[in-house]
Structure 1
Amino acid sequence: MAESTTETQETSGPPKKWKVIGPGLVVAATGVGAADMVATLAAGSRYGYALLWAVVLGVILKIVLVEGAGRYSLATGKTIFEGWRSLGRWPVWYFGPYIMIWGIVYGASAMSSTALPLAALFPGVPLIVFAVATGIAGFVLVWFNRYAVFEKITAVLVGLMFVTIVTLAVIATPNIPNMLAGLVPRLPEGGLFYTLALAGGVGGTITLAAYGYWLREKGWITPGWMRVMRIDNTMAYVMTGIFVISMLIVGAEVVAAANTTIGAGDKGLLDLDTVLRERYGEFIGTWFLIGFFAAAFSSVIGVWNGVSLMFADFWGNIRGKGSEHPDSRINGKYFRFYLVWLTFPSMSLLLLDQPIGLVLAYGVMGALFMPFLAITLLPLLNTHRVPAQWRNRWHTNTALVITAGLFIALGGYQLVRAIAGVFGG
């Protein structure tokens, strides 16, 4: 009887008192990792506010992309994997190997990133100890909790990282006239990679496709929730935009003024910690490391939850059980299998330093995933697969085509860099 009442309420649409922020906050927070923060810092320190327009463009494109994934799920009642499967066999053959290879390599990378600020705070403890501990902590939090608890934990971490970085930006006293000038599109010399990274890369990972799964776990499962979903998604990415702009300000006002170079990869944030301590004192440096940890750990638990949901749905459908079978849902056996896969085999890569074959495969497939998502949304949202009233308008299609082109360009650039890095180019 209670099940029937819930279904009636969901079909009739959301109640009057609904929460504006929900799964959008989770997907946006999960997508912003340490590497994105470093790219933004480096762009700000090199080019000041000249690429601010690329941040704004990236936020708009990400809103369109995630809204498309959410709209498909709400309009059809199907998961994004069911949609991909309707396009033929090729998405299945792509997604299966991708999610397995991506998971084991990303798991090691995420644990290492999260361990960096902890190792800086407690230098007497080896980095690998913190890496393993954060992986196990993420595993336990996701294994034993339902979506509602996971969302609350993510909200706390997001709040911490948001307040930390925005406060740093305020302390840095941004140059407002220069910021406004940065809204005018231009490409500084040598700034192509940073432009692509800010517009296409920040806040963009496989977890964008997990949005529909988090909507389902939240209970937003019918077209009646469409307006709520759109507000949720927009608010989340506006917050992401403010966060990224704050990092750009810190790069332009703090790092540039210190005449220092931010290192490549996640360790670049430790360079910022050094600069902050020299300029503002130990308290600000320590506070930043805590915010760094919150940003990195939110990505860990976001991936541990969201990508495990995607794998469970994928494998449940491959096994013929469908998306609604308990084995295909959160805390089902396929979900838990992938949660184990993300956590424990990945730990071996912390010791093996990521074998060349896996690194290359990860670089190749990772570079191609975001174009895959953008391109597949075009047929999913323009054909009989979606009711006519929820199909794309011309401006949405234009934005998706631009997004696909941008991701292809960024993906190609990242692919070349990955191959060159593996073979010492």
Structure 2
Amino acid sequence: MAASDTHDGTDGGDEPKWSLIGPGLLVAATGVGAGDLVAALVAGSRYGLNFVWAIVLGVAVKFALNEGVGRYHLVSGETLLEGIDSLGRWATGFFGGYTVIWGFVYGAAVAASCSLAANALFPSIPFWVYVVAHPIAGCVLVLLNRYETFESIITAFVALMFVSVIGSAVLVLPQLGDIVATGIPALPEGSVVYALGLVGGAGGTITMASYGYWLAEKDWNSPRHITTMRLDASSAYVITGIFSIALIVMSAALLYGTSASVSGEEGLIVLASNLGNELHPLLRTGFLVGFWAASFTSLLGVWHGVSYLFADFVETVTEDTIKPTDESELGETKWYKLYVLWLTFPPMLLYFFGRPVFLIVLYGALGAVIMPFLAVVLLLLLNSDAVSPGRWNHWLSNSMLVLSALIFLVLMVVQISQLLSGG
């Protein structure tokens, strides 16, 4: 991407800003997955509305990271991977290696999430059929469609999620009653780490690093697009926050104070059943459709977005680089297509033959490190000469990135401690 355009942060052209919105929807659709729904579900069932504040803080933290990724792309003229490479080849190797291991394990996990929701809707079809069909469907939709078409597909799924999940949340509002009092922000005894997990989990992880490639697909390629990028990124996290809070509201209204067990994604099936039993059978179906749409859009977003990261990683380490102005063409490379296939087919082995313990431990350890790594990398890059920090960076951005780094460093220590203790 060219950074020679040194206009201020205003957008050129006569096209209205809202007609330009697009990549943010992909961020929201990818970031709101089954894991986010489960975290919000458990928070509502255990603590009522208490941890709405954690979702709001988490959205602010993730927005700061995502906005930082977008700003670096627009101002420096480099991809995030090129910036990471400037810190040392070890950093590039860590990030690239993580995408390979993460993609293998995540591919199996997200296929299972999609399949769980689909199987609850249509139980007569064998579960393994869903496990195979969803990744292949994602592969076809990503490889056979251009960005504009893919964006339209995601937009349709987000609309489906909104109608089903937000509609269900609105209908349970009368059920809240005295539970509204639990909405006062607090930290119940022993919940500090849990609260930090909610803050850190809201709104995606490595997928945020894909944002710059989606900006390039949209031809947002210079500092004059910063204002529009920020508007776009904020829309992503407003949507993320609304969905997460809606889940807290539903689980608080229907499960708080009950003996219902809601751990894992099966808890979403329990919530759907409660919606159907206490309000209307159609709400069970509607919520399950929203659960499925959230899972499948996460699959699609990862297949489409993280494949850019892998392709960029290979192009960077082999020094067979594409010109910065052609960075959206990474989607046409063999490495991009290879990673889509990597996400699609090898992870099926984990479903049919089980997950090796060493792989899960390695996945957990690398996953604990990746978010503080991203936060620190952005702090370094956005305060480097490549960005002209005096002009394109400011104290609020740095403060939020420092806060992000601290939160994720604490979570890293907790998660690695749990891995070492076998917890």
Q: TM-score surpassing 0.5?
A: yes
**What amino acid is the match of 2:282?**
F
Contact 1:312 1:327 (C-alpha < 8 Å) held by counterparts = no
- After superposition, the Cα gap between the structure-2 partners of 1:176 and 1:220, relative to the gap in structure 1 and judged at 3 Å, is farther
Deviation at 1:327, TM superposition (A): 10
Corresponding residue for residue 66 of structure 2: 66
Alignment of 1:276-425 (within 5 A): 276-324=275-323, 329-388=330-389, 390-418=391-419, 423=422, 425=423
Corresponding residue for residue 202 of structure 1: 202
Contact 2:42 2:251 (C-alpha < 8 Å) held by counterparts = yes
Q: Which stretch shows the higher mean deviation, 282-291 or 294-303?
A: 282-291
**What amino acid is the match of 2:294?**
A
- In 2, Cα distance between equivalents of 1:179 and 1:222: 46
- In 2, Cα distance between equivalents of 1:302 and 1:176: 38
Q: Which stretch shows the higher mean deviation, 132-141 or 158-167?
A: 158-167
Deviation at 1:368, TM superposition (A): 1.1
- After superposition, the Cα gap between the structure-2 partners of 1:340 and 1:203, relative to the gap in structure 1 and judged at 3 Å, is same
Contact 1:142 1:150 (C-alpha < 8 Å) held by counterparts = yes
Q: Does 1:270 align with 2:291?
A: no
- In 1, Cα distance between equivalents of 2:419 and 2:156: 34
- After superposition, the Cα gap between the structure-2 partners of 1:395 and 1:327, relative to the gap in structure 1 and judged at 3 Å, is closer
Deviation at 1:328, TM superposition (A): 6.2
**What amino acid is the match of 1:204?**
G
Deviation at 1:258, TM superposition (A): 4.7
Deviation at 1:201, TM superposition (A): 0.6
- In 2, Cα distance between equivalents of 1:390 and 1:165: 41
Q: Which stretch shows the higher mean deviation, 405-414 or 220-229?
A: 405-414
**What amino acid is the match of 1:364?**
A
Q: Deviations over 1:367-408 (max 9, x none)?
A: 111111111001101120213454321121111111111112
- After superposition, the Cα gap between the structure-2 partners of 1:246 and 1:336, relative to the gap in structure 1 and judged at 3 Å, is same
Contact 1:50 1:188 (C-alpha < 8 Å) held by counterparts = no
- After superposition, the Cα gap between the structure-2 partners of 1:382 and 1:58, relative to the gap in structure 1 and judged at 3 Å, is same
Contact 1:322 1:328 (C-alpha < 8 Å) held by counterparts = no
- In 2, Cα distance between equivalents of 1:182 and 1:368: 32
Q: Deviations over 1:172-224 (max 9, x none)?
A: 1165996587364x211232243112211121211111111111111111111
Structure 1, unaligned runs of 5 or more: 1-6
Deviation at 1:161, TM superposition (A): 1.1
Deviation at 1:43, TM superposition (A): 0.6
Q: Does 1:169 align with 2:169?
A: yes
- In 2, Cα distance between equivalents of 1:413 and 1:33: 23
Corresponding residue for residue 3 of structure 1: none
- After superposition, the Cα gap between the structure-2 partners of 1:182 and 1:327, relative to the gap in structure 1 and judged at 3 Å, is closer
Q: TM-score, normalised by structure 1?
A: 0.91
Corresponding residue for residue 219 of structure 2: 219
**What amino acid is the match of 1:307?**
V
- In 1, Cα distance between equivalents of 2:398 and 2:113: 36
- In 2, Cα distance between equivalents of 1:289 and 1:112: 14
Q: Deviations over 1:235-258 (max 9, x none)?
A: 221111111111110111112265
SS state at 2:345 partner: helix
Q: TM-score, normalised by structure 2?
A: 0.92
Corresponding residue for residue 27 of structure 2: 27
Contact 2:31 2:240 (C-alpha < 8 Å) held by counterparts = no
**What amino acid is the match of 1:314?**
F
Contact 2:40 2:247 (C-alpha < 8 Å) held by counterparts = yes
- After superposition, the Cα gap between the structure-2 partners of 1:386 and 1:177, relative to the gap in structure 1 and judged at 3 Å, is farther
- In 1, Cα distance between equivalents of 2:180 and 2:95: 40
- In 1, Cα distance between equivalents of 2:255 and 2:179: 16
- In 1, Cα distance between equivalents of 2:215 and 2:354: 36
Deviation at 1:259, TM superposition (A): 3.5
The alignment's C-alpha RMSD in Å is 2.2
Structure 2, unaligned runs of 5 or more: none
Q: Which stretch shows the higher mean deviation, 17-26 or 278-287?
A: 17-26
Contact 2:43 2:248 (C-alpha < 8 Å) held by counterparts = yes
**What amino acid is the match of 2:373?**
F
Corresponding residue for residue 80 of structure 1: 80
- In 2, Cα distance between equivalents of 1:166 and 1:288: 9
Contact 1:29 1:203 (C-alpha < 8 Å) held by counterparts = no
Q: Which stretch shows the higher mean deviation, 86-95 or 283-292?
A: 86-95
Q: Deviations over 1:255-311 (max 9, x none)?
A: 226541202x22221121222222123211111111111000000000000000111
- In 2, Cα distance between equivalents of 1:412 and 1:111: 29
Contact 2:47 2:256 (C-alpha < 8 Å) held by counterparts = no
- In 2, Cα distance between equivalents of 1:88 and 1:98: 16
Deviation at 1:131, TM superposition (A): 1.1
- After superposition, the Cα gap between the structure-2 partners of 1:217 and 1:230, relative to the gap in structure 1 and judged at 3 Å, is same
- In 2, Cα distance between equivalents of 1:84 and 1:283: 49
Contact 2:165 2:286 (C-alpha < 8 Å) held by counterparts = no
Contact 1:164 1:291 (C-alpha < 8 Å) held by counterparts = yes
**What amino acid is the match of 1:344?**
F
- After superposition, the Cα gap between the structure-2 partners of 1:225 and 1:213, relative to the gap in structure 1 and judged at 3 Å, is same
- After superposition, the Cα gap between the structure-2 partners of 1:77 and 1:362, relative to the gap in structure 1 and judged at 3 Å, is same
- After superposition, the Cα gap between the structure-2 partners of 1:296 and 1:417, relative to the gap in structure 1 and judged at 3 Å, is farther
Contact 1:75 1:390 (C-alpha < 8 Å) held by counterparts = no
Deviation at 1:89, TM superposition (A): 2.0
- In 2, Cα distance between equivalents of 1:391 and 1:119: 49
SS state at 2:125 partner: coil
- In 2, Cα distance between equivalents of 1:279 and 1:364: 42
Corresponding residue for residue 231 of structure 1: 231
Q: Deviations over 1:328-370 (max 9, x none)?
A: 6113211001111111111111112211111111111111111
Deviation at 1:411, TM superposition (A): 3.0
Corresponding residue for residue 48 of structure 1: 48
